[in-house]
Amino acid sequence: MRKFEKRRDAKGVLRFYLNNEPYFLMGTLDQGWWPDGLLTPPSLRRG
């Protein structure tokens, strides 16, 4: 069995722990994708 939790480390920063060891989660950010402007939303100006 695995134990997964979030708790504060010695500095008071909230961290994820797996089996009582700090675990860094690495993944994509939920920011959306804008094909016209790569990482920025398209302009709303018209004409």
Condensed to tens digits (0 to 9), the pLDDT of residues 4-28 reads 999 998 999 999 999 999 998 887 6
pLDDT of residue 26: 80
Considering only residues 43 and 4, tell me which one the structure prediction assigns the higher pLDDT: 4
Q: Is the pLDDT of residue 38 over 90?
A: no
Report pTM: 0.51
Residue 34 contacts residue 28 (beta carbons within 8 Å): no
31's tokens: 């920011």
pLDDT of residue 37: 61
Local structure of 17: helix, strand or coil: strand
Q: What is the amino acid identity at position 16? A: F
Q: Which residues pair with 6 in a beta bridge?
A: 16
Cα distances (angstroms) measured from residue 25 to each of 6, 15, 17, 40, 45 = 12, 9, 10, 25, 39
pLDDT of residue 47: 56
Using CA atoms, how far apart are residues 30 and 24, in angstroms rounded to an integer? 17
